[in-house]
Amino acid sequence: MGILGGGQLGRMFTIAARTMGYKVVVLDPDFASPAGQMADVHLQADYTDHGALRQLGAACAAVTTEFENVPAASLIELAKHCRVSPGAQCVAIAQDRSHEKSWLAQNGFATAPFALVYSEGDLDAGLADTGTPAILKVARFGYDGKGQARVNTREEARAAFREFGEQPCVLEGFVKLEREVSVVLARDDAGECALFPVAENRHENGILDVSIVPARVPDSLARQARDMARDIAGKLGYVGVMAVEFFVADGRLMVNEIAPRPHNSGHYTLDACVTDQFEQQVRVLCGLPLGDTRLLSPVAMVNILGDRWHDGGPHWDALLAHPNVKLHLYGKETARPGRKMGHFNVLDADVEAALQLAEQMRGAL
Ligand code: AMP
């Protein structure tokens, strides 16, 4: 099996694939990539390198990806040689916020009010649609809150647009969030869908901080989130693992983003579900039956960022000594503020207890 991208998601996919007896080739330009360390073969090359893509396609029965910024053209090229999932069209929609938002609106899925911005001239009409405050987001290559600016006035919107190099953007109305939730699912060739339980997500500075499962929302809202995620996957004709992130405002759901891959908010599945999201990715890619997504225990997942690597790094003792806690580290050689270095899952009798213990464990780091 092959994977484009060698970050932590690729690493956990590679571990799952090898656990099931498959051999894995990782394509990633970084010699120290987290997934490359786990792979049978690490092709250290650019994602557009024709020779490397040919090699990957020839060596693998099936190829997937772990990040949405993989060039759609590379997926098309690979598909000439082997099975590729998800398909290039789905990735092309998810990797560009303007395509994504337009697709969602055209297909009747609620989003925050938005406007597409291609030039400064679009900002005034855009602000009239979204109101203020609003968030200007670059259409491509933004992640974890990067390439986003909160704007209160026309002047601020113009300044942010210029700062982003006048590249295509999406302007979004600022939503008063009650909560954020997400759904990870897998959809196979036959259109069969397996949905994981709904996660409730807390972000810090635009980066996921904590996920708790089951989400503390009414059953009807959780059901609606799963139905919407299933509908989105169905309408996209999606094959593979994907995540849908939602805002909850005034008790209603709005779709924030689609991720064409496993998702950080699905890391809880590693320790709390019968099948985890990475095994599910292997299963879909290989045409195997989808695994059981049942939740075995309430859980809180906490991200560990590079910010904690000052003064010799985190103190793991308390975390490792606790029977309810599981630590996952990604093998990254250098820590930087905001960089995802690992996460831990806390299992407990209910989500409140798990959340409380998670905060305590974080404090002990
Ligand atoms: P994104 O990269 O678009 O998922 O944004 C990162 C985080 O910023 C989200 O998870 C929210 O916490 C916050 N955010 C993004 N867009 C909005 C919005 N339109 N209104 C309120 N908060 C937002």
Q: What is the mean pLDDT of residues 139-149?
A: 84
> In the structure encoding, which two tokens stand for residue 49, read together?
């390198």
How far are the Cα atoms of 1, 5, 6, 57, 177 from residue 52, in angstroms, in the given order? 15, 13, 14, 9, 44
Q: Is the C-beta atom of 202 inside 6 A of ligand 1?
A: no
Helix ranges, the chain (H): 8-19, 50-59, 72-79, 88-94, 97-106, 121-130, 154-163, 219-236, 269-272, 277-286, 317-321, 351-364
pTM: 0.96
Q: With bands split at pLDDT 50, 70 and 90, how would you rate the model's confidence at 176?
A: very high
Q: Which pLDDT value is given to residue 146? A: 81
Q: Which pLDDT value is given to residue 337? A: 93
Q: With bands split at pLDDT 50, 70 and 90, how would you rate the model's confidence at 310?
A: confident
- Residue 77 carries which side chain, given as an amino acid letter? E
Q: What is the mean pLDDT of residues 296-310?
A: 96
Q: With bands split at pLDDT 50, 70 and 90, how would you rate the model's confidence at 204?
A: very high
Q: With bands split at pLDDT 50, 70 and 90, how would you rate the model's confidence at 68?
A: confident
How far are the Cα atoms of 136, 164, 214, 273, 355 from residue 210, in angstroms, in the given order? 25, 29, 13, 17, 9
User: Could you give the domains of the chain?
Assistant: 2-84 (3.40.50.20), 113-173 (3.30.1490.20), 177-364 (3.30.470.20)
The atom of ligand 1 lying closest to the CA of 175 is 20
Nearest Cα to Cα of residue 111 among 201, 180, 175, 197:
175
Q: Is the C-beta atom of 249 inside 6 A of ligand 1?
A: no
Q: With bands split at pLDDT 50, 70 and 90, how would you rate the model's confidence at 173?
A: very high
Alpha carbons 287 and 61: distance in angstroms, whole number: 11
Cα dihedral 344/346/351/356 (nearest 10): -90
Q: With bands split at pLDDT 50, 70 and 90, how would you rate the model's confidence at 358?
A: very high
Angle at 189 between CA 290 and CA 67, to 5 degrees: 80
Alpha carbons 194 and 364: distance in angstroms, whole number: 36
Helix ranges, 95-203 (H): 97-106, 121-130, 154-163
Q: Which pLDDT value is given to residue 124? A: 93
The answer to whether residue 144 scores a pLDDT higher than 80 is no
Alpha carbons 78 and 57: distance in angstroms, whole number: 6
Q: Is the C-beta atom of 135 inside 6 A of ligand 1?
A: yes
Mean pLDDT in the chain?
96
Nearest Cα to Cα of residue 88 among 231, 240, 234:
240
Q: Which pLDDT value is given to residue 305? A: 97
Q: Judge whether 3 and 35 are in contact, CB under 8 Å.
A: yes
Q: What is the pLDDT of residues 312-348, one digit of tens each?
A: 889 999 999 999 999 999 999 999 999 999 999 999 9
Q: With bands split at pLDDT 50, 70 and 90, how would you rate the model's confidence at 99?
A: very high
Name the residue at shortest CA distance from atom 14 of ligand 1.
206
Dihedral class, residue 294 (left if φ above 0, else alpha if ψ from -120 to 50, else beta): beta
182: three-class secondary structure by DSSP: strand
Dihedral class, residue 156 (left if φ above 0, else alpha if ψ from -120 to 50, else beta): alpha
Alpha carbons 365 and 360: distance in angstroms, whole number: 9
Q: Which pLDDT value is given to residue 141? A: 85
The answer to whether residue 260 scores a pLDDT higher than 80 is yes
Taking the centre of ligand 1 as the mean of its atom positions, its distance from the CA of residue 146, in whole angstroms, is 11
Q: Output 143 or 138, whichever has higher pLDDT.
A: 138
Q: Is the C-beta atom of 174 inside 6 A of ligand 1?
A: yes
Q: Is the C-beta atom of 151 inside 6 A of ligand 1?
A: no
